[in-house]
C-alpha cells in the first residue's frame, strides 16, 4: 500500500519523501512513525502519512512527538475533519483494514483539507499543545 500511495501521490504532483521500509520483513512501526513525525516537525514535510497493519500503533507512536497530531482514519469524513478541526498533520492508515481505493480517497481528503482557523479549533489545538508541554521531559 505504501508503494502504491507514494506513486499515486507523485502522479498527483506531490513531492514524496519515503521514510519507510522497502522490505516485506516486519519492522518496528515506532521507528517509522518517529521518522515521519520528525520530518513534519522539522518542516522537511508539510504532512505525513504512515501505513502499518492497523494504523493504531503508528498513530500512538507519532503522537508522542511534540507538535505531531496523528490519527487513524478509515473514512473520508474523519480524514478531512481531523485536518479542518484538529490540525491533523500525520495520517495513519491500516493496510490490513482498508483497501487501496479507500486509502487513496482518504489521502485525497487529508491532503485536500486545510485547518479552519476558527477560534474554537485554534483554542482546542492550543490546549493539546499545553498538555504536551506539561509532560515534556
The residues annotated with a catalytic role in the active site are 52, 85
d(CA 95, CA 98): 6
- Using CA atoms, how far apart are residues 111 and 129, in angstroms rounded to an integer? 22
Return the C-alpha cell found at 1. Answer: 500500500
As to burial, measured by CB atoms within 10 angstroms (0-12 exposed, 13-18 middle, 19+ buried), residue 101 is: exposed
CA-based max dimension of the chain: 45
Say which residues have a Cβ less than 8 Å from residue 42's Cβ, sequence separation at least 6: none
CA atoms of 95 and 135, how far apart (whole Å):
32
Could you count the other beta carbons within 10 Å of the beta carbon of residue 39? 17
Amino acid at each position: 500500500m505504501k508503494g502504491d500511495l507514494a506513486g499515486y501521490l507523485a502522479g498527483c504532483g506531490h513531492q514524496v519523501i519515503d521514510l519507510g521500509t522497502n522490505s516485506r520483513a516486519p519492522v518496528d512501526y515506532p521507528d517509522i512513525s518517529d521518522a515521519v513525525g520528525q520530518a513534519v516537525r522539522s518542516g522537511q514535510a508539510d504532512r505525513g502519512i504512515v501505513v502499518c497493519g492497523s494504523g493504531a500503533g503508528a498513530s500512538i507512536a507519532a503522537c508522542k512527538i511534540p507538535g505531531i497530531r496523528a490519527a487513524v482514519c478509515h473514512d473520508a469524513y474523519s480524514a478531512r475533519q481531523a485536518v479542518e478541526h484538529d490540525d491533523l498533520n500525520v495520517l495513519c492508515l491500516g493496510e490490513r483494514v482498508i483497501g487501496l481505493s479507500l486509502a487513496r480517497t482518504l489521502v485525497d481528503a487529508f491532503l485536500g483539507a486545510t485547518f479552519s482557523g476558527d477560534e474554537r479549533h485554534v483554542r482546542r489545538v492550543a490546549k493539546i499543545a499545553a498538555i504536551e508541554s506539561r509532560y515534556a521531559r
